[in-house]
């Protein structure tokens, strides 16, 4: 199976991780997976509009998606949303985990416990979920401690999530590359 022929199963539970760099096409790929599936399309947004530029980005994403998606905006309590607001017939896109991680760090939350809570919520979530996240570990070593900590936490999050979920796809220059196939190790 290649990533270009990959599709979500007809029903859940199922979880996939789509990784890529900035402007790699990962969100567009994840949205296409959700659109091609039957069920209620649910977009869980972790971004917060803290400045004009981010407000414009969020507006552009909403416009591109269209109005046929249910929207849940949750910058911190992602696990709670998966436990309490997601139904078996839903096909969920979480965009994005690195923004969620940044939000947690900005509020000085305990990262390891938040990740453990997310992993536990995925285990019991009856829906099909597509997680979007930035792969930031391929660049240069950041020059400050906060940025290095963020890079390290993102890498750990991706490793833990990839070990638990069903499929992992990397998107580079708009092209998907299957890293973990459903049913794979």
CA distance 107 to 98: 14
90 near 128, Cβ under 8 Å?
Answer: yes
136 near 129, Cβ under 8 Å?
Answer: no
CA distance 70 to 50: 22
Distance of CA 118 to the CA centre of its chain: 12
CB atoms within 10 A of CB 5: 8
Residues annotated as part of the active site: 61
Burial class of residue 182 in the structure, from the number of CB atoms within 10 Å of its CB (0-12 exposed, 13-18 middle, 19+ buried): middle
47 near 54, Cβ under 8 Å?
Answer: yes
């Amino acid at each position: 199976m290649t990533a270009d022929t990959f599709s979500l199963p007809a029903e859940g539970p199922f979880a996939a991780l789509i990784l890529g760099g900035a402007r790699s096409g990962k969100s567009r790929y994840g949205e296409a997976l959700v659109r091609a599936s039957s069920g209620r399309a649910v977009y869980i947004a972790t971004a917060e509009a803290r400045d004009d530029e981010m407000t414009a980005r969020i507006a552009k994403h909403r416009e591109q998606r269209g109005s046929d998606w249910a929207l849940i905006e949750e910058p911190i309590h992602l696990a709670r949303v998966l436990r309490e607001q997601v139904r078996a017939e839903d096909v969920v896109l979480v965009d994005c985990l690195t923004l969620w991680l940044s939000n947690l760090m900005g509020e000085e939350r305990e990262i390891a416990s938040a990740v453990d809570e997310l992993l536990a919520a995925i285990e019991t979530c009856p829906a099909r979920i597509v997680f979007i996240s930035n792969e930031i570990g391929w660049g240069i070593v950041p020059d400050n401690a906060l940025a290095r900590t963020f890079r390290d936490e993102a890498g750990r999050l991706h490793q833990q999530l990839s070990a638990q979920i069903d499929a992992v796809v990397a998107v580079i220059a708009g092209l998907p590359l299957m890293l973990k196939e459903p049913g794979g190790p």
